[in-house]
Structure 1
Amino acid sequence: MRIVADLTKCEGLGMCEAMAPDFFEVDEEGTVEVLDDAPGEEHRGDLTAAVDACPVLALSLQG
């Protein structure tokens, strides 16, 4: 599984960071930073919730 962030869509709202702080961080410029872009399958539930929480659809999971 791979986390993909579309930085052209990101508005830095921080929903992803609130849902999965081990994997996402919003930087000082208000853009998401993916902390681990290839997490283990055991994190799929938390990551799916974080991706689904993004109001601007800037995140996706591949694989």
Structure 2
Amino acid sequence: MIKNFEQIPLVLTVPQVAQALNLGRDTTYNLVRAGIIHSVRVGHQYRVPKAALMEYLAA
């Protein structure tokens, strides 16, 4: 479990983002697919930069 900002990796998977936000996996995927949380697609997977997660939290 992520306890503080320094422990967050530079790039997160969607399940890691879901855990950090205390949201469900499907809800987090919907946020990513809708572009509400910015992400990068790598093959069939989404990766969320740490900066994008912080931007979402600040909004």
Confirm or deny a common fold (TM above 0.5). Answer: no
Higher relative contact order (CA 8 A, sep 6+): 1
TM-score by length of 1: 0.31
TM-score by length of 2: 0.32
Q: Which has the higher helix share?
A: 2
